[in-house]
Amino acid sequence: MKFGKDFLSQMVPEWQEAYLNYNQLKSLLKEVSQAREVETTSENQRSRFKRRGSLYRAFSGLTGGRIGSQKLQEDHATATIHTNITQKDREECYQSMLFVSSLEKAGENEVDFFKKLDDELNKVVGFYKREVGMLMEEAEELSKQMDILIALRIKVEKPPEFCFQDSNDHVSLTSNSTSKSTIPRTSLESIFEGQSRLGVTQEVEMAEESSLKDAKSYGRKAGKGIVQPTTQNLKPVSLELLPHVRINVQPETPISTLKCMVMSSNSQLSYNKTELRKAEELMMRALIEFYQKLRLLKDYSFLNKLAVLKIMKKYDKITSRKASKAYLEMVEKSPIGTTLEVTRLIERVETVFIKHFADGNRRRGNDILKRKIRSERQGFTFLSGFLFGCSIALVVAIILVIHLRNIFQSPGRFQYMDNIFPLYSLFGFIVLHMLMYSSNIYFWRRYRVNYAFMFGFKQGTELGCWEVFFLSSVLAVITLVCVLSNLDMEADPRTRTFAAITESIPLALLIALLCIIFCPFNIVYRSSRFFLVRSAFHLVCAPFYKVSLQDFFLADQLTSQVQAFRSLQFYICYYVWGDFIRRSNRCFQSKIFEAFFFVVAIIPYWIRTLQCVRRLVEEKDVEHVFNGLKYFSTIVAIAMRTGDDLNMGIVWKIMAAISSAVATILGTYWDIVQDWGLLQRNSKNPWLRDKLLISNKGVYFVAIALNILLRLAWMQSVLGFREAPFIHRQALIAIVAVLEIIRRGIWNFFRMENEHLNNVGKFRAFNSVPLPFEYNNKLEMKSQF
């Protein structure tokens, strides 16, 4: 693989704009190479005319052409780069100037190349310094949070009179010993140059031993009544200030959310084990996220330094000069050349995390800290293709059976379409949605959309496109086998009933699918299954959970599966009332079923409305008001359309037409303008947006047109196309549901593309983890040393 592609593949997607623009520098070098080739060609032509007149003297040895050529090459090789580091707006500015021999001059292309290279280097150094500065501030905050956590551990797990007897009970993350209380403290922000990993570990251990001796001394004197607690005592600062700390653990259940609505969430510490456990979880997540930032920032420095090295080597090769050495010396003097600060922070975080969250087990601690990259197994590609081929063969087999048995002319075909087809269509909707999601993952990865970060998947547990495709193929094969076994159209002539076992196949398949989803054993991607179940539970409990992207994204998927929800409702009616033996149903004769026919279709949109209300309360953004009104208009439209489906009169039909038109217009506008960020009049790409991941702009206009057309498909019931002479009503409903699922799959890609570009614009490559403790300014002043 060429370095340019490898460089692109190893970039942090959200930081892509902050990396060295290697491709542009390569294009400038290509212009330099072309200019030199033209110059060389013209020189060769001039020398050819001179050669004929001097041929005899050349053979006589009277000319020094060869010596002159060697001298010219030496002059080329002795071209030098003068580098300079200046101050501009209180920031270091790195500049270079090319000096060549008197026999030649540097072309404008070379000047442009070094100017662009200097600009790119300054951009990289500036971004690196800003990130390091923010990490140092975050390290200081983590130090204070860690001190409070250790004090809380002491308070919860041991009585006050024995709180100084174990060196592992009071550990800070600092190393300087300038505290007024003479307790050595270590802070993540204090870094010592030239210190090895072993030195960092020994430093932390020595600080803790010193802290232990002082703490034990204080404990003995306090026990004898010799010393009273004052600001000059040897009592650890964190314990002195623990009563002034407030817990900041976010509510995780509907009950805790309701409690927070009654009481202030910033309540005083109650020193119980539940608070300690939650605080430890948050602190552990914060340290892991902080560690990942440090590792990626170090990789960022290394990659950019390597890119400068590669591009300068290319320059030397093209121009036959030795100019890279001086430029690389300037790079080494820059912050990205010496990443000592970040390296020390990495070592210190590893030491502290292993000691306090991995029980001193270095291997276990490193496994938790380091990013896990999931590698897709090649066997899935073959197996998925094989199963997909089997599903196609089963579809062909079903078509042949229908044709050979002349099922379309069978008197039982209407019974089948009214009763069996809705049962199996549920699995068809699920399979299609999984296939669309699989294609979404493929294109997200192809265009470097960091979907795993935005969805909040645990590292190394996100499913790849082939794994989702494999699961959908398995479900498709099983479903089609069941359909093939359930194509019997004739009932027993004596009892007028169908075989109970055969008629129960769809129910057995549904129960098996639910058992796999909720299976507690570590099989069939348990982490992904539980992630889905947890997000679904958050939807059920809306608005009592904080709304994250994966929650409202899943809710949006459910809005496109209204027909699947109605199929589940039909399952309950069909099997609970015992109609499956006679292959008939009396569902629509029940007022309860009709009422739930309304409710089931509204539930996904109602959940999204509640989520918009929750986000409005938390974020105070008026945009969520309009988004909530959009979903509420859809609720009204679905209610009116459902009434029209139940033949409740001409008034319902008119109201359904008006409400559906309004909901369609609002939904289409929101999809294209808000969710996709398109149709911006003043953008660099007319009527699209400034940044696009797909180079072919026509794709976006095709997506806009498809979204509008497929949005209109759901109005088929309002426009009077519920039945057609050539297609059954249930088949028409399924086709409309399939079109909506396809529209949602297209929406998914562009929605996540827009979200990804927003993260890129803000260089937001990490999740913000809430810290467990809060304290006021007075507490912060007291904790200084």
Give domain limits for the chain: 378-761
Rounded to 10 deg, the angle between the 549-559 and 526-540 helix axes is: 80
Beta-carbon contacts of residue 776 (< 8 Å; ≥ 6 apart): 244
Strand spans (E) along 576-695: none
Question: How far is residue 159's CA from residue 39's CA, in Å, rounded to a whole number?
Answer: 85
Hey, what amino acid is at 705? A
* pLDDT of the residue at 162: 43
The closest of 748, 59, 135 to 439, measured between CA atoms, is 748
Number of other residues whose CB lies within 10 A of the CB of residue 378: 9
Q: How far apart are CA 153 and CA 164, in angstroms?
A: 12
Go through 636-673 and write b for each residue having 16 or more CB atoms within 10 A of its CB, e for each that does not: bbbbbbbbbbeeeeeebbebbbebbeebbebbbeebbe
Which two three-digit tokens encode residue 73?
Answer: 């090459």
Give 661-668 contacts, CB < 8 A, sequence gap 24+. Answer: 661/715, 662/633, 662/637, 663/630, 663/633, 663/634, 663/636, 663/637, 664/637, 664/711, 664/712, 664/714, 664/715, 666/629, 666/630, 666/633, 666/634, 667/630, 667/634, 667/711, 668/707, 668/708, 668/711
Q: Where are the alpha helices (DSSP H) in 226-338?
A: 237-241, 254-262, 273-319, 324-333
Is the CB of residue 742 less than 8 Å from the CB of residue 710? yes
Q: What is the pLDDT at residue 201?
A: 54
656-685: per-residue pLDDT in tens?
Answer: 888 888 999 999 999 999 999 999 988 899
What is the H or E stretch that residue 482 is in?
helix 465-485
**First vs last C-alpha separation in the chain:** 53
For residue 446, give Cα distances in angstroms to 439, 450, 677, 766: 10, 10, 20, 21
Task: Please give the pLDDT value at position 374.
Answer: 64
pLDDT (0 to 100) of residue 104: 55
Residue numbers of the chain with a pLDDT score lower than 70: 1, 39-40, 42-80, 89-90, 99-107, 158-241, 249-269, 372-378, 491-493, 495-496, 644-648, 714-725, 776-785
Strand, helix or coil for residue 219? helix
Question: Could you tell me the pTM of the whole model?
Answer: 0.81
